[in-house]
Amino acid sequence: MIGSHVIVKMLEAYGVSHIFGVPGDTSISFYEALHDSRDRIGHIMARDERSASFMADAYARLSHKPGICECPSGAGSLYTVPGVAEADASAIPLIAITSDIPLAGEGRQTITELDTQGLYASITKWAAQVKHVDKIPEILRRAFRIATSGRPGAVHLTVPQEALKGRFFKNASDIYGEPQCRTYPAYRTRGGRTELEALVSSLLAARRRVIIAGGGANHSQAGAAIQSLAEWLCTPVVSTISGQGIMPDDHPLAMGVIGDNGFHPHAHRAVEEADTLLYIGCKMGSVSTINWSMPSNPEKRRILQIDLNPDMLGNNFQNTVSIAGDARLIIEDLCVLIKGRTSCNSASAWVDSMNRERQAFWKEADSCFRADTTPLTPLQVIAQLNRHLHDPAVVIADAGTPTPYITRYLRLAAPGSRFIIPRAYGGLGYAIPAVVGAHFARPDVRLVGLFGDGSLGMSAGELETISRLNIPAVLIHFNNAAFGWIKALQKLHCSEKYFSVDFNANDPVKVAQGFGLHAVSIDTPQELEAAFKKTFDRHSPIFLDIKTLPESDDLPPVYSWTAGQKQL
């Protein structure tokens, strides 16, 4: 067999069932091999290489398997960069395979020649060139191992024509995969007993402790363990945006989201009033700490941190106890140790008071949900969404307009629900292709994608993909005819000197219909309510174009923005 078939056989050995990509001149032999294996590996053709990488990213987040994308040489390699970078920075295992020009053509001005290994070196855990066909099994095993183990991340492989088309002379027994690396995290690691005992002592000595769950807790699937620990210690749990959903939203100890973007006031209160903070899988970056201003006076608190990546331990605060290892395993071990040293705590007056504040928050929010105003606000859209998400759902949002409203007001109570948003680089154009990847990872759930018109302009071509594959997604477009987030910043910081942020609203409904989707235009609360009722009875894709106020007219719940307004 030739190299292309070896790659496909190796993907089969790792249980790969879906690969996302775009065909090109250099990938002809690879596509022939995929064709011969089409009953075992489904190829999802994207309309853009960036979209293919976003699809693979979302697939990996939800399936807990490495996401696989492929692209041709030259421009294909360049266009794939955004999704690969996002996955790597978000600790998502993604393997990008680039078919490349012949090695014999290097340095000879061969069309599409590009140093792809150098291009991807800074945005992946590992970037490699397959120089010989017989190296394919070894390199792919290493790729899966690197992508899924330790801190998961992205890997890039460039495969020249000599390797793709060359004859494989090694024994077929060399074509095998490592079962441990079919899912992630692979080779989970536990914390040391000494550190675990120190962590237990710090937690038990606390009067007011709070658990802060980040994206790493979700990647580790540590939700059940964290809930068990929180319930035993009667400890409030807050989350970063990426950690959202670690516990059911209606749980009495789940206090909501902290940070700058779409925060919950009672969650901020929990952090500020705690004497001990346990960070789990959280980078403690600029958003979750509001530029490292929360908690205030960190030196007066016990800072405890669990992270898979030792580089993150004590990176932004001086920790009392640091433990490197897998979040789920460490929390499970903590539960064993703590339950052996203390009985289950009952709710404290402090927790009760925060729950009263939380109830008041949602009561006030409910009155806003019922507003009957035009133009519509993003808050009204999220309110309608909450009323219809009764079954398990995956909600995917772009950075920008939807983000603060979703993180603050979206309520996912059904078991198995997830919320996904690209938080590493915050690039637009993610949600629509991510819906495709999510569908193949979780075909059993209701899919919802939310995005603004800036994002739509960057990924509208994938509406055809959704239509072609008949993916039953609800696509919600916030049409405010602007790069709304930037326009709001110009209002706050540039004396309303708006520049290069407005564009024509046009008619996105016709665009969606042109790609074969059922599409509806919505302007009023009555149209919004009627459309949502019909939408959630459908089992085919639908595009909702909702005219909403831009952020410059309806300031979203961003802590630094609202704090700045109060100062003014």
**Digit-coded pLDDT (tens) for 274-288:** 999 999 999 999 999
Q: What is the pLDDT of residues 407-422, one digit of tens each?
A: 999 998 788 899 999 9
Q: What is the pLDDT of residues 307-361, one digit of tens each?
A: 999 999 999 999 999 999 999 999 999 999 999 898 888 889 999 999 999 999 9
C-alpha neighbours within 13 Å on the C-beta side of residue 83: 39
Structure tokens at 148: 């899924």
Nearest to 474 by CA among 445, 450, 452: 450
HEC string for 293-356:
CCCCCHHHCEEEEEECCHHHCCCCCCCCEEEECCHHHHHHHHHHHHHCCCCCCCCCHHHHHHHH
Cα gap 415→427, rounded to integer Å: 29
Does residue 236 have a pLDDT over 70? Answer: yes
**174 and 200 within one domain:** no
**469 and 430 within one domain:** yes
Does residue 565 have a pLDDT over 70? Answer: no
**516 and 405 within one domain:** yes
Cα gap 323→309, rounded to integer Å: 10
**260 and 335 within one domain:** yes
Q: Which residues pair with 126 in a beta bridge?
A: 155
Asked if the peptide bond before residue 137 counts as cis, ω within 30 degrees of 0, the response is: no
Check which CATH number belongs to the domain holding 36 and give it. Answer: 3.40.50.970
Residue 368 has what pLDDT?
84
Domain that holds residue 108: 3-181
Q: 18-21 and 67-71: which strand pairing?
A: parallel
Of 181, 202, 232, the domain-final residue = 181
Q: CA angle, corner 102, sides to 100 and 104, nearest 5? A: 150
Asked if the peptide bond before residue 298 counts as cis, ω within 30 degrees of 0, the response is: no
Question: Does residue 361 belong to any structural domain of this protein?
Answer: no
- CB-CB contact of 8 with 40 (8 Å): no
Question: Does residue 364 belong to any structural domain of this protein?
Answer: no
Check which CATH number belongs to the domain holding 311 and give it. Answer: 3.40.50.1220
What percentage of the chain exceeds 70 in pLDDT?
99
DSSP state letter for 134: G
Looking at every residue in the chain, the average pLDDT score rounds to 94
The residues, ordered by sequence, that sit 6+ positions from 427 with a Cβ below 8 Å of its Cβ are 82, 86, 399
Does residue 564 have a pLDDT over 60? Answer: no
Does residue 427 have a pLDDT over 60? Answer: yes
- CB-CB contact of 96 with 70 (8 Å): yes
**What is the value of pTM for the model shown?**
0.96
Instruction: Compute CA distances 132 → 52, 101, 415, whole Å.
Output: 26, 14, 47
C-alpha neighbours within 13 Å on the C-beta side of residue 176: 7
Nearest to 120 by CA among 67, 79, 162, 90: 79
Question: Does residue 17 belong to any structural domain of this protein?
Answer: yes
**170 and 225 within one domain:** no
How many structural domains are present in the chain? 3
**134 and 110 within one domain:** yes
Question: Does residue 310 belong to any structural domain of this protein?
Answer: yes
Lowest mean pLDDT among 71-75, 101-105, 126-130, 210-214: 101-105
**523 and 379 within one domain:** yes
DSSP state letter for 275: S
Task: Let me know how long the chain is.
Answer: 568
Question: Does residue 357 belong to any structural domain of this protein?
Answer: no
* Mean pLDDT value across residues 264-282: 97
Three-class SS state of 154: strand
Q: What is the pLDDT of residues 373-407, one digit of tens each?
A: 899 999 999 999 999 998 999 999 998 778 889 99
Q: What is the pLDDT of residues 507-521, one digit of tens each?
A: 999 999 999 999 999
- CB-CB contact of 307 with 216 (8 Å): yes
Question: Does residue 454 belong to any structural domain of this protein?
Answer: yes
**229 and 116 within one domain:** no
Three-class SS state of 133: helix
Of 159, 181, 203, the domain-final residue = 181
Cα gap 73→240, rounded to integer Å: 38
* Confidence band for 465, pLDDT divided at 50, 70 and 90: very high
Of 304, 321, 350, the domain-final residue = 350
Percentages (nearest 5) of helix, strand, coil residues in the chain: 45, 15, 40
Residue 567 has what pLDDT?
37
**175 and 112 within one domain:** yes
**112 and 22 within one domain:** yes
Question: Does residue 186 belong to any structural domain of this protein?
Answer: no
Instruction: Compute CA distances 102 → 106, 116, 164, 387, 429, whole Å.
Output: 7, 13, 9, 56, 33
Residue 243 backbone dihedrals phi, psi, to 5 degrees: -90, 0
**323 and 414 within one domain:** no
Question: Does residue 198 belong to any structural domain of this protein?
Answer: yes
**533 and 402 within one domain:** yes
Helix (H) or strand (E) holding 375: none
